[in-house]
Amino acid sequence: MKALTLLIIAAALVAAAYLAGYWPQHQRVWSLDEDLRLANSRLADAQAEIRIYQLENRLLGVIEKTEEKNYGEAQKLSTDFFDRVRSEIPRARKASLQSLLEFTLQKRDAVTAGLTKGDLATLDLLRQILIGFRQAVEAELANPVTAGGR
């Protein structure tokens, strides 16, 4: 009977020692995992912002070539810009950004036709698209709502 009691006490002490070492490490891993999830979310947001800035820069290139009346180069840049807008739509994490991209893509035919004709009025349309991008970026910077916050 004494041996059984000693065995139970020894098992309880081993279990307590195990838990004393395990539980703090488990809590630390859980906390680090939460930090990693938050960092990944912030990284995804930052990457999305970078892609929007890149789109804005491409649009500025189209505008520049159009202002220079280099319509052939503007058409090439425009095609690249709108192709990238299309590829960004499914990646957009926010509905407002997705609607901006869809709205921008709807202007593709008008921009292409205007550049083909060498119509300077296309410049106004491109500038309107640019204003939409800048407003979206400003809204994002003013209100960066993500899972976990910033």
Task: Look up the pTM and report it.
Answer: 0.75
Lowest mean pLDDT among 39-48, 65-74, 75-84, 136-145: 136-145
Phi-psi region of 119 (alpha: psi -120 to 50; beta: other; left: phi over 0): beta
Lowest mean pLDDT among 19-28, 38-47, 69-78, 128-137: 19-28
pLDDT band at residue 55 using 50, 70 and 90 as cut-offs? very high
End-to-end distance of the chain based on CA atoms, in angstroms? 61
Phi first, then psi: give them for residue 90, nearest 5 degrees.
-70, -15
Using the structure block, give the residue that is written with the tokens 């906390």.
31
Taking only the tens place, the pLDDT of each residue in 77-121 is: 999 999 999 999 999 888 888 999 999 999 999 999 999 999 989
CATH number assigned to the domain covering 46-142: 1.20.120
Give domain limits for the chain.
Answer: 46-142
Instruction: Yes or no: say if 139 and 96 are a contact pair by the CB < 8 Å rule.
Output: yes
* pLDDT over 80 at 145, yes or no: no
Taking only the tens place, the pLDDT of each residue in 1-25 is: 888 888 899 888 888 888 788 778 8
The sign of the CA dihedral 24, 25, 28, 34 is negative
